[in-house]
Chain A
């Protein structure tokens, strides 16, 4: 809602010095979102005056037609002599009154004006267009003024070029502020001044000889006021003040009748519609649409109507989409000049509609037809039904006053009975909500300021004004009091919070995982969860891969990515590519976040009533409709994991780094991980670790090198490695509680063994066998070398282990240590076929 300060002052007698910015600050504190304060004409400087065109000489021989004019500007140029001006526009004639800017003036831009030589003549100033004066963008032509203005009159004042305009973003609860009337009410309250309500008009009572209107759907239309005006002069034009106000509201002046309906809507907040009475066939009816009905709206669109649409009809059928947009067939005709007679032809008699429609019906219709209009915007948010008679009257008055029309005596006013809404509110409710004592007097006074009528003592009986349909609950009334008294004046205090439990174990675990990965050199990224089939194709997933079963969006941002992720990898790998594209080639990234896995059954989520707590069954049904949304963590590495430098060679990121990242996550989560050979796309079939919670067969994720085909398809560096783990699965059993070990102070006995096994035997199995066989004297075991080559034979590998033995109660003898070692080797032989190297 735009609010010119000059117009607002008509209803509130603001102190002369109040600026737009000061008013904005006050209104903001009262809850109106003033987004900008525009300074119209701030850089405009005169002289800018009315001129009368005395002569026009058409200059020829130039690329475009040029006019050499003499203009009478009265005494404004100091000499009284005609002003010589060269002009490129052609929409004016000798005798026309125009707006002339004289040398020394500055037009918006800023664009200083000086006398200059052009096209062989002197041009001492300019004849101005609306655009040059900053009056609106849609007029390139010269402004031609009504003929009664005197040459030399100051045009800055005449055209109200200097003004301040507030632009307010009106929240849905404040429909009344989509009018000058509503904003003026707020301004009056903010300054403690009286309001001159533009809707307080003398209106003749309804009678039986008004235009015949039948309302078949009183629920959809609970008020319909119709007035008729005849004898309108089609040649009458909107006066400058009216055009200027509309322009400042960013409403384009069209024709006098239409301009008046728009003006009254902006002033009072009541959307009006004007029908050309001569084009309406019989009585007006308000009803819902029937199947197959069609309406061509003012914008020329032919619209198929839905049975829910509320219509204005006459004997011919629909003539308007109620509260949204009128129809073309009864539209007010644009005045045109008849070429033969020279007379202006247009609509001369009109029906003014000022109705009140059901907000929901209008909102749905506007949404259904994708037709948000100035009218529907207001009806959706609530229009004052009691303002309709005044609004119609205002339009009639203006048509009589400036369009030369005659008001007919008939007044149609069809009103469905309105129950009076009364809210009972404890007088101290605002006090209890704010935590501050206002007192009954203040509460009652503030409620009256917003238009409520207030009765009662400790319990107030409050009747909200008809323009505030948003005031329905005691809390709504309390808010009015607290906001008008000022949020700034509510003293801050702190609630007494009972002792808390701190973070939950799972919350602490999530933090540890992030800290551990960052500590291990990983950088966290957050990716959008949107993806499409292409992401799965890139990962090489089979057509029936379960990860292709996704939760889909109805209205995705991008049609190529309509689904929610079932794996973190596509987003993470896209981040890898983005980084590489920017020259960051050595990367270790991680992300934690939800994935979205559809359940086998997907019931529709219920919509329980909201006037009570939903039942436990209803809550269960709400949750059952949700997809499974586990938290995952994923890493991706490429380039050098350890950089080369003056200290020596570095190391490229390898499958082992990905597996180690998984172990890092598990350690941080307090869970022991078992690793075994896996085969799972998008991983390399020979370089994929399957990750399980130790002692269970619960697979929680995978780690290793990407399949070379995937690397190629996704344009990633060769040997890019990734891991992805389901944190919820990983920690499903809770975390292990560490037990304090017995730390022996007896000396350690170290023994090395080198074992030869088939290349296919996993090292993890050999180590497990060694541990098992070594028994409890084994303190630690460490694989320190893996060797393949001729010496160990084809298809074989040598694994070298350092075993540390120690007892808690004695110094081990060499024989004891050797016996334990031999037992370990024997166990490895038995379960993996390992033989001692060199044996």
Chain B
């Protein structure tokens, strides 16, 4: 490095000659451009911008120049260094982008790998079906009621106009509960229907009463594809001034429409239940054959046994005798009640062919139903 020398002429200083500065600048830019990796660029950076680089050395010579020459030389070097840094930064960005792209490619994974690490659960479709029905009625303003499964005979039968010798009492194959001494005279049964919840609701609260109850009921049937001794009923009751059979029809039609849809026809048949008068049975058009199997032995339908209809359940106008036994004035109030089999609705709505699947608890049956149906 030259010592400061006031007599020096910058043009006499070799390193500050414009051609030299330009050459150093061009060499640097070329070196950066030639760098193919961030490492090479780093080396080029040390070589062309470091303390020992041509431009750095030239810069140092400026101090030795006479004052009038410093400005011009400084500008010359400054411009060159600016261009060099710009080129460096540009190449740096380019190479980093290249590197990043390469790394991301290397980090790619097979996103189709299966991942069942978190165990899957599901609720029983009869539970979620019950909730869906409850929600339909809650939205209409009904409350949800419940009652015990071991129930007093009086509530299960007598209060429902089924006296001790009523023929319908033997129609229902009842599980009787033993008394403490083992005798059959406990006055208790496994409830054969959810209707006792109606009585409990009326005993608890005067009309207007709009309530729905879903629960397990018991009959002494053997388990097969279409029967189970323990099954579920949806029970509904409405007691108010001026309730009619027409209200019952509208309510059931709404439920079926929400639950199953509007495409299938409903059939209303007169029937007999001691606790309703008039009584009706509601059938849903078979969702499989839509009646085409009736009288057509060439295309039998297993779902409806070629009858064209599937029984949904029973209903009717609450028998005034039931109102009386529940402390409701039949002169002022009337009501309707219905009871539908949940298993059958599930079979129809979700194509379940065998009721045994609902009771055996095989996880393969339940899992597809998820959290809600």
Binds A, one of B19-27, B52-60, B170-178: B170-178
Let me know if A363 and B165 touch, CB within 8 A.
yes
Q: Bound complex: CA of A380 vs CA of B325, how far in Å?
A: 25
Let me know if A521 and B119 touch, CB within 8 A.
yes
- Assuming A602-B179, A643-B116, what are 19 further A-B pairs, CB within 8 angstroms? A30-B270, A172-B166, A487-B269, A492-B250, A494-B250, A556-B175, A579-B363, A582-B364, A584-B363, A596-B149, A604-B186, A605-B154, A608-B154, A608-B158, A610-B161, A613-B203, A643-B119, A645-B114, A645-B115
Let me know if A526 and B141 touch, CB within 8 A.
no
Q: Which residue of A lies closest to B230 (CB)?
A: A528
Q: Which residue of B lies closest to A523 (CB)?
A: B363
List B contacts of A646 (CB < 8 A).
Answer: 113
List B contacts of A231 (CB < 8 A).
Answer: none
Given contacts A31-B269, A491-B246, A626-B188, contact A523 B116 (CB under 8 A): no
Q: Which residue of B lies closest to A486 (CB)?
A: B268
Q: Which of A474, A554, A607, A619 contacts B178 (CB 8 A)?
A: A554
Minimal beta-carbon separation of B317 from chain A (angstroms): 6
Binds B, one of A496-504, A685-693, A704-712: A496-504
User: Does A734 make an interface contact (CB < 8 A)?
Assistant: no
Minimal beta-carbon separation of A779 from chain B (angstroms): 28
User: Does A830 make an interface contact (CB < 8 A)?
Assistant: no
Q: Which residue of B lies closest to A470 (CB)?
A: B272
Let me know if B246 and A434 touch, CB within 8 A.
yes
Q: Which B307-337 residues sit within 8 Å CB-CB of chain A? A: 317, 319-321, 324-327, 334
List A contacts of B249 (CB < 8 A).
Answer: 487, 490-493
User: Does B247 make an interface contact (CB < 8 A)?
Assistant: yes
Let me know if B272 and A171 touch, CB within 8 A.
yes
Minimal beta-carbon separation of A10 from chain B (angstroms): 25
The tally of residues in B whose CB lies under 8 Å from a CB in A reads 106
Minimal beta-carbon separation of A261 from chain B (angstroms): 24
Q: Bound complex: CA of A641 vs CA of B114, how far in Å?
A: 17
Q: Which residue of A lies closest to B164 (CB)?
A: A607
Let me know if B117 and A647 touch, CB within 8 A.
yes
Q: Bound complex: CA of A588 vs CA of B123, how far in Å?
A: 12
Minimal beta-carbon separation of B343 from chain A (angstroms): 11
User: Does A529 make an interface contact (CB < 8 A)?
Assistant: yes
Q: Which B87-145 residues sit within 8 Å CB-CB of chain A? A: 113-124, 126-127, 131, 134, 138, 140-144
Let me know if B362 and A584 touch, CB within 8 A.
yes
List B contacts of A641 (CB < 8 A).
Answer: 119
A residues whose Cβ falls under 8 Å from a Cβ of B: 21, 28-31, 33, 37, 171-174, 359-360, 363-364, 367, 380-381, 432-436, 473-476, 478-479, 482-483, 487-488, 490-495, 497-504, 507, 511, 514-515, 517-529, 551-557, 564, 575, 578-579, 582, 584, 586-589, 593-594, 596, 598, 602, 604-608, 610-614, 619, 622-623, 625-627, 629, 641-643, 645-647, 650
Q: Bound complex: CA of A584 vs CA of B141, how far in Å?
A: 43
Given contacts A488-B268, A494-B254, A604-B179, contact A610 B158 (CB under 8 A): yes
Q: Which of B121, B171, B270 contacts A487 (CB 8 A)?
A: B270
List B contacts of A504 (CB < 8 A).
Answer: 143-144
Given contacts A521-B119, A552-B178, contact A494 B127 (CB under 8 A): no
User: Does B243 make an interface contact (CB < 8 A)?
Assistant: yes
List A contacts of B334 (CB < 8 A).
Answer: 432-433
Q: Bound complex: CA of A28 vs CA of B270, how far in Å?
A: 8
List B contacts of A494 (CB < 8 A).
Answer: 247, 250-251, 254
Q: Which residue of A lies closest to B162 (CB)?
A: A610
User: Does B83 make an interface contact (CB < 8 A)?
Assistant: no
Q: Which B165-197 residues sit within 8 Å CB-CB of chain A? A: 165-168, 170-171, 175-180, 182, 184-188, 190
Q: Which of A495, A499, A554 contacts B243 (CB 8 A)?
A: A495
List A contacts of B167 (CB < 8 A).
Answer: 172, 363, 380-381
Let me know if A643 and B117 touch, CB within 8 A.
yes
B residues whose Cβ falls under 8 Å from a Cβ of A: 113-124, 126-127, 131, 134, 138, 140-144, 148-155, 158-159, 161, 163, 165-168, 170-171, 175-180, 182, 184-188, 190, 203, 208, 210, 216, 220, 222, 229-230, 238, 240, 242-247, 249-251, 253-254, 267-272, 277-281, 294-295, 317, 319-321, 324-327, 334, 358-364, 366-367, 371
A-B pair count, CB < 8 Å, reads 300
Q: Bound complex: CA of A171 vs CA of B148, how far in Å?
A: 29
Task: Determine the main DSSP class of B at the interface with A.
Answer: mixed
List A contacts of B166 (CB < 8 A).
Answer: 172
Let me know if A610 and B325 touch, CB within 8 A.
yes
Minimal beta-carbon separation of A120 from chain B (angstroms): 40
17 example contacts (A-B, Cβ-Cβ < 8 A) are as follows A31-B272, A171-B271, A474-B320, A487-B245, A487-B268, A490-B246, A500-B141, A518-B371, A520-B121, A525-B124, A554-B178, A579-B361, A582-B362, A588-B119, A606-B154, A610-B325, A645-B116
Q: Which of B120, B270, B358 contacts A483 (CB 8 A)?
A: B270
List A contacts of B272 (CB < 8 A).
Answer: 31, 171-174
Q: Bound complex: CA of A507 vs CA of B215, how far in Å?
A: 13
Q: Which of B126, B188, B319 contacts A605 (CB 8 A)?
A: B188
Q: Which residue of A lies closest to B210 (CB)?
A: A497
Let me know if A526 and B126 touch, CB within 8 A.
yes
Let me know if A21 and B176 touch, CB within 8 A.
no
Q: Which residue of B lies closest to A591 (CB)?
A: B361
Interchain residue pairs A-B with the least CB separation, the first 5: A613-B327, A31-B270, A605-B187, A435-B244, A521-B119
Minimal beta-carbon separation of B217 from chain A (angstroms): 12
**B124, B240, B366: residue with the most chain A Cβ atoms closer than 10 Å:** B124
Q: Bound complex: CA of A21 vs CA of B161, how far in Å?
A: 34
Q: Bound complex: CA of A576 vs CA of B301, how far in Å?
A: 35
Q: Which residue of A lies closest to B155 (CB)?
A: A622
List B contacts of A589 (CB < 8 A).
Answer: 361, 363
Q: Which of B150, B184, B203, B278 contacts A619 (CB 8 A)?
A: B203
Q: Bound complex: CA of A364 vs CA of B149, how far in Å?
A: 28
Q: Bound complex: CA of A364 vs CA of B166, how far in Å?
A: 11
List A contacts of B317 (CB < 8 A).
Answer: 433, 475
Minimal beta-carbon separation of B352 from chain A (angstroms): 14
List A contacts of B270 (CB < 8 A).
Answer: 29-31, 479, 482-483, 487
